[in-house]
Amino acid sequence: MARTYRLGPARRAINVLSRRMVRRGRGPSFLHLLTVRGRRTSEPRSTPVSVMELDHRRYLVAPYGPVSWVKNARVAGEVSLTRGDRTEGFTVRELGPEEAVPVLRKYLREIKVVRPYFDVNADSPEGEFRGIAASKPVFELTPRR
């Protein structure tokens, strides 16, 4: 059974350190700082995320389920990603279960730290991935013009 995500003191500390690394352009190349407008306050909210690239497209995966940034992105329809001194704006489109499978599979292969939060592994059948897709939202990122 998959672990449940909890934003406790340890996770908060990791997020603070990750934010600092990303703002300096350090750490794994897939790590970015996601900023999205809050759905209730309209204030910008930021959190570190892993960006997946597949077939020359970029995706955001929510390995912990529909957490705050996911809900905010759904409402806002757009996000920005920062790494170092570079910030890019994107519109987001949430993928359906069929489209999400290859992205989720790649995510599990590359981002090992999230594996305990999934009820599947990278080699699981496609049907099992479709079964978890609703609980692990995936967004396609399209550059804003």
Phi-psi region of 107 (alpha: psi -120 to 50; beta: other; left: phi over 0): alpha
CATH of the domain at 52: 2.30.110.10
The number of beta carbons lying within 10 Å of the beta carbon of residue 16 is 11
Show the tokens assigned to 51: 């960006």
Q: Is the pLDDT of residue 20 over 70?
A: yes
The number of beta carbons lying within 10 Å of the beta carbon of residue 74 is 15
Domain-located, residue 1? no
Domain-located, residue 3? no
Tens of pLDDT, residues 74-107? 999 999 999 999 999 999 999 999 999 999 999 9
The number of beta carbons lying within 10 Å of the beta carbon of residue 78 is 14
pLDDT of residue 7: 63
- Cβ atoms of 57 and 140 within 8 Å: the answer is yes
Of 79, 72, 74, which is closest to residue 51 (Cα–Cα)?
79
Tens of pLDDT, residues 57-67? 999 999 988 99
Tens of pLDDT, residues 25-59? 888 888 999 999 999 999 999 999 999 999 999 99
Domain-located, residue 28? yes
Domain tally, the chain: 1
Domain-located, residue 4? no
Measured over the CA atoms of residue 29, residue 31, residue 35 and residue 36, the dihedral's sign is positive
Tens of pLDDT, residues 111-121? 988 888 888 98
Domain that holds residue 109: 9-143
The number of beta carbons lying within 10 Å of the beta carbon of residue 120 is 19
Domain-located, residue 2? no
Domain-located, residue 138? yes
How far apart (Å, rounded) are the C-alpha atoms in residues 141 and 137? 13
Look at the pTM and tell me if it is higher than 0.85: yes
Q: Counting beta carbons within 10 angstroms of the beta carbon of residue 100, is it exposed (0 to 12), middle (13 to 18) or buried (19 or more)?
A: buried
Torsion of Cα atoms, 59 then 61 then 66 then 70, to 10°? -30
How far apart (Å, rounded) are the C-alpha atoms in residues 37 and 43? 5
